[in-house]
Amino acid sequence: MKPFAYARADSTDQAVSEALAPQTRFIAGGTNLLDLMKLQIETPAKLVDITRLPLNGVTPRDEGGVSIGALVPNSDLAADRHIIADYEVLSRALLAGASGQLRNKATTGGNLLQRTRCYYFYDTATPCNKREPGSGCSAIGGVNRILAVLGTSEKCIATHPSDMAVAMRALDATIVTQKADGDRRRIAIGDFYRLPGDTPHIETVLEPGELITAVELPPKVEGARHLYRKVRDRASYAFALVSVAGVVVMDGDTVASASLAFGGLAPMPWRNPAVEAAIVGKPATDANFAAAADALLADAKGFGSNDFKIPLARRTLIASLRELTGK
């Protein structure tokens, strides 16, 4: 690990002010950052320890919905009674990710910002545009079984590894931040992540030194059925090959509303309004579910060893919709 300076922040204002120094990273759970620092993939000059900040509550909001502090550990969020009752898809997604030990440490804000597990991002002996901009992508034409089929570019085909973020995308979460100059902003999760394009090393719209302080969820969807279906190589403790987060409301045999997000397929938690449009206001039939899968995968592109993800995503979506609609 490269040497770094360490500062512990006692307030959010102090944390963002400490982060004005170049090459600073906030550290909370540290489960991904320290992993990457040991491999010298991340080499921050300074760490700001934010674990003492009062950002660890799950609290109802006056306008409805809930505010989740950025430091709420994944375990505690999954076990929160309010989350289980009103946002079960989020509990399910959290419990499908990582291990008990990691969930006890990993935080809500950190989970949103975890980095890809692309083999080449981790292998410092190989080119990777995300790790070293301009060096090339080893995954295109290489081993890419776990990598993306949607939203890729010629520079990068990495997947975002989070389960939690997929559920949050389905729940229309808003990410609340504080910038180094003290300004706060609220960013819809759909606007938070960036596709790789020519700059795969820039993954979100966060500015240097900008701190996630909370994630807000809108009021619960009344009468909804929730599902998080994760397909992976092992029964437990493995990243998703494909995952589906769904929140669906039925009106008799008709799909009244649907919110669907996907993991394992793209560089960000994926959502495409055309998928939902293919089923909303229509009878819950396999033909309509197939149309939703067509919409999801219309632009899908495999890179060899991940070609299987395209039919797998299709079948996983259709199976998920059958379960969500009671078919």
Partner 1 sequence: MKFNINGKTHDADVDIRTSLLDLCREHLGLTGSKKGCDHGQCGACTMLVDGRRINSCLTLAVMHQDSEIVTIEGLGQVGDLHAMQDAFVRHDGYQCGYCTPGQICSAVGMLGEVEKGWASHASADLTAVELSDAEISERMSGNLCRCAAYPNIVDAIREVAGKGDRQPVLEAAREIGA
Binding interface with partner 1 (CB under 8 A): 1, 3-4, 6, 27, 30-31, 34-35, 38, 49, 51, 75, 78-79, 81, 84, 88, 91-92, 95-96, 98-102, 104-105, 235-237
Per the CB < 8 A criterion, the answer to whether 240 and 163 are in contact is yes
Report d(CA 250, CA 227) in Å as an integer.
14
Contact 217, 66 (CB under 8 A): yes
Q: How far apart are CA 134 and CA 23, in angstroms?
A: 20
Task: State the minimum distance, in angstroms, from the CB of residue 106 to partner 1.
Answer: 9
Q: How far is the CB of 92 from partner 1 (least distance, A)?
A: 8
Task: Say if residues 202 and 194 touch (Cβ distance below 8 Å).
Answer: yes
If the CB atoms of residues 27 and 212 are measured against partner 1, the closer one turns out to be 27
Distance CA 222, CA 319 (A): 23
Three-class SS state of 249: strand
The DSSP code sequence of 284-298 is: --HHHHHHHHHHHHT
Please identify, using beta-carbon distances, which residue of 32 and 306 lies nearer to partner 1: 32
Taking the complex as a whole, the smallest distance from the CB of residue 326 to partner 1 amounts, in Å, to 17
Long-range contacts (CB closer than 8 Å, 24 or more residues apart) made by 138-141: 139/303, 140/303, 141/303, 141/304
Taking the complex as a whole, how short is the minimal distance between the CB of residue 98 and partner 1, in angstroms?
8
Chain Cα centroid distance, residue 37: 21
Shortest Å, Cβ 95 to partner 1: 4
Q: b/e for 66-90, b at 16 or more Cβ within 10 A?
A: bbbbbbbbbbbbbebeebeebbbbb
- Rounded least distance, CB 34 to partner 1, Å: 5
- Residue closer to partner 1 by CB (options 110, 196) is 110
* Tokens, residue 78: 């999954």
Q: Which is nearer to partner 1, 102 or 277 (CB)?
A: 102
Q: Provide, rounded to whole angstroms, the least separation between the CB of residue 86 and partner 1.
A: 12
In the bound state with partner 1, the residue whose beta carbon lies nearer, of 80 and 216, is 80
What's the CA gap between 316 and 200, in Å, rounded?
A: 28
Q: How far is the CB of 105 from partner 1 (least distance, A)?
A: 5
Residue closer to partner 1 by CB (options 27, 173) is 27
92 vs 309 by CB, closer to partner 1: 92
CA 165/CA 169 separation, integer angstroms: 6
Q: Which residues pair with 230 in a beta bridge?
A: 243
Q: Which of 1/202 has CB closer to partner 1?
A: 1
Spatial separation of the C-alpha atoms in residues 212 and 297, rounded to whole Å: 32
